[in-house]
Structure 1
Amino acid sequence: MTEQPIPASPVEADLEFMKALQDKGPQKPPRSQWRDVWDQFRKHKGALFGGSFLIFITLAVIFGPYIWDIDAKKLDIRNKDWRPIYTLLWDGDAKAGWIHPFGTDQLGRDILAQMLFGGRVSMAVGWMAMALALLIGTAIGVLSGFFKRMDFWLMRFTDLILSLPILPLVLLAVTLFGQPLRAQFGPEGGMFILIVSVISLTSWMQTARIVRGDILALKEREFILAARSIGTTPGKIIRRHLLPNVISPIMVSATLGLATAIITESALSFLGVGFPSDFPTWGKQLADAVDRMQEFPERVMLPGIAISLTVLAVNYLGDGLRDALDPRIRGR
């Protein structure tokens, strides 16, 4: 006859339960989503370089003119055509010194001061145009994706803008509206408003298409259907449920928009349709240096390197953000 196991007493059962709890040890707190994003982001060495360099160049152009306080517009013909300080490494008789470490141009203007001041203008245009383009693109993308009746017309309008040649359109807008804005807000302020507006109004389309695609997928999810079923207004659904879930693609699009805005502003200044001729920007420095490029190649190289490194840093930052914010890649 098989013996039946004797059931444990309540005291013994409690002791076994307490022992099981002790064996499990302390529970780890749950990890936040943004901690996972940061862990994935810092694995991307290019993104770390891009973010660090973007912070560095932004701080340099903001505070640099206060530290290196030479007037970027000051003409000094007696000190024209100085060479960069590193030229002394192979030419001891070169006209160079620490008073002008990057040299001077044909009018005696300090190139380092011009790069710092011009970088402030280029970065300001880039950040402002990017922010405005994101605002427009996000608004159109959300409206098009959420409201079915508006989708067709908004997307056809987006396709129309995408089909237009951007650079001729920008040149036409600067030609038509440049003079009235300069007369109203001054030569520098008017052109700043015009260039920011033109760049943002011609670069929001990619953001709109990306946001629309995400909204179309999100609005069929269970939590959106549940919010609709209890009578939540469309405005609250967009603000509380949809916009927080499209932050990731918007952040990636922001980096691409910043790079595009910097390149476009530099191209306009290089073509001579941007800021006034005595107002230094990176693109204007390139334009001024072309005529004497063979004799003074550093005048093209220095602003060109600044533009290239800034755009490269922004692109690397965008790649890192895309990988970190994508849950399919973040889980690897």
Structure 2
Amino acid sequence: MTEPAPQTVISALQDSELVKPPRSQWVDVWDQFKHHKGAVLGMGFLVFITLAVLIGPLIWTIDPQKLDIRNKDLRPIYTLLWDGDAKTAWNRPFGTDNLGRDGLANMMAGGQASMAVGWSAMLLSLIIGTTIGVVAGYFRKLDGILMRFTDLVLSLPILPLLLVAVTLFRQPLRAAFGPEQGMFILIVGVIGITSWMQTARIVRGEVLALKEREFILAARSIGTTPGKIIRRHLLPNIVSPIMVSATLGLATAIITESALSFLGVGFPSDFPTWGKMLSDSVPRMEEFPERVLLPGLAISLTVLSVNYMGDGLRDALDPRIRGR
């Protein structure tokens, strides 16, 4: 009886089907995220409005601060087309204000300012909140002090605090950095410093749950320093709540900046933002309602899209919900 060849034995032991590589976690997250229709629409609108305010001024090159008194108080494109003035309609699709400034150019410039403030303030609040949350959750001696400080800041009335801070520091920062840059630094700093508390509480809760897990205890047992444990083990495992908090923080920052500009304590009067455009349009809103409608819709739809994205990310990043 002849023995089988080694190649025959090896081929018989081998699996006939190819072993598929393991699926990435982010592939599963995307599969869950794309089933949330509101989140997909929100992400699409956020990408659209971001590209519009960034790339739009390169295409629509009219200066948003240029005054054209001869063409002041023009109505938007749908009104002008209805009246039969098609040439003026396409030259000024969003109309002009009472000083002849182009509405579309101001919408894009105002979107740049509002989105820049929103993203910057969100990142600042995220850094502060994550740092305080991680330190409070990991170091038991600092937990009580940091959480009582967080509760104290949460109890403060945010809008009056913002108004006081802007009033106190507006002139020094304007003198040091200029009118626009000084107000940008002030508004971003004030919004970031007053909106980190929710992130800190969420991150602290996640760290408290994670630091008693076996892999953290194993890292401690081999002498790993707290800094390395936080960087290598804790932070990668709390990315999910941080991302969800980031989306909600972006919406809060945009609304807060718009509120400050609407109240007249934001950027200079000749610097367009969505909130400033809304404030300038209120005195004549009965005669020109579209001037209130356009920036109001931009603010509302942007915030709504970010909130829907946050809901979708929360569901997609939660392993208990993913796969339902």
TM-score by length of 2: 0.95
Residue 304 (str. 1) matches residue 293 (str. 2): no
Q: Which letter does structure 1 place at the counterpart of 2:125?
A: A
Aligned partner of 1:159 in structure 2 is 151
| Matched-pair contact (CA < 8 Å) for 2:81–2:89 | no
| Matched-pair contact (CA < 8 Å) for 1:83–1:95 | no
Aligned partner of 1:5 in structure 2 is none
| Matched-pair contact (CA < 8 Å) for 1:210–1:249 | yes
Residue 142 (str. 1) matches residue 134 (str. 2): yes
- DSSP-derived class of the 1:73 partner: coil
Aligned partner of 2:108 in structure 1 is 116
| Matched-pair contact (CA < 8 Å) for 1:84–1:96 | no
Aligned partner of 1:293 in structure 2 is 285
The separation in 2 between residues aligned to 1:16 and 1:114, in whole angstroms, is 76
Q: Which letter does structure 2 place at the counterpart of 1:200?
A: G
Q: Which letter does structure 1 place at the counterpart of 2:108?
A: L
The separation in 1 between residues aligned to 2:28 and 2:86, in whole angstroms, is 54
Aligned partner of 2:212 in structure 1 is 220
Aligned residue pairs total 324
Aligned partner of 1:82 in structure 2 is 74
What is the root-mean-square deviation of aligned Cα atoms in Å?
2.0
| Aligned pairs (5 A) from 1:130-209 | 130-209=122-201
Superimposed CA distance per residue, residues 295-315 of structure 1 (whole angstroms, 9 cap, x where no aligned partner): 100000000111111111111
Structure 2: runs of 5 or more not aligned: none
Superimposed CA distance per residue, residues 132-190 of structure 1 (whole angstroms, 9 cap, x where no aligned partner): 00000000000000000000000000000001110000000000111111111111111
| Matched-pair contact (CA < 8 Å) for 2:77–2:95 | yes
Q: How has the CA–CA distance of structure 1 residues 153 and 10 changed in structure 2, closer, same or farther, with 3 Å as cutoff?
A: farther
The separation in 1 between residues aligned to 2:199 and 2:87, in whole angstroms, is 50
Residue 230 (str. 1) matches residue 217 (str. 2): no
The separation in 2 between residues aligned to 1:193 and 1:234, in whole angstroms, is 33
| Matched-pair contact (CA < 8 Å) for 2:133–2:200 | yes
| Aligned pairs (5 A) from 1:9-48 | 19=12, 21-22=14-15, 25-48=17-40
| Matched-pair contact (CA < 8 Å) for 1:82–1:95 | no
Structure 1: runs of 5 or more not aligned: 1-8
- DSSP-derived class of the 1:119 partner: helix
Per-residue deviation, 1:48: 1.1
Larger CA Rg, structure 1 vs 2: 1
Per-residue deviation, 1:109: 0.5
The separation in 2 between residues aligned to 1:62 and 1:178, in whole angstroms, is 27
| Matched-pair contact (CA < 8 Å) for 1:142–1:212 | yes
Select the residue among 54, 63, 70 that pairs with 2:62: 70
Q: Which letter does structure 1 place at the counterpart of 2:220?
A: R
The separation in 1 between residues aligned to 2:264 and 2:57, in whole angstroms, is 24
Select the residue among 238, 242, 256 that pairs with 1:264: 256
4+ long deviations beyond 3 Å:
9-12, 14-22, 88-96
The separation in 1 between residues aligned to 2:86 and 2:316, in whole angstroms, is 49
- DSSP-derived class of the 1:98 partner: helix
Aligned partner of 1:4 in structure 2 is none
Aligned partner of 2:236 in structure 1 is 244
TM-score by length of 1: 0.93
Residue 278 (str. 1) matches residue 258 (str. 2): no
The separation in 2 between residues aligned to 1:99 and 1:29, in whole angstroms, is 56
Q: Which letter does structure 2 place at the counterpart of 1:118?
A: G
Q: Which letter does structure 1 place at the counterpart of 2:62?
A: I
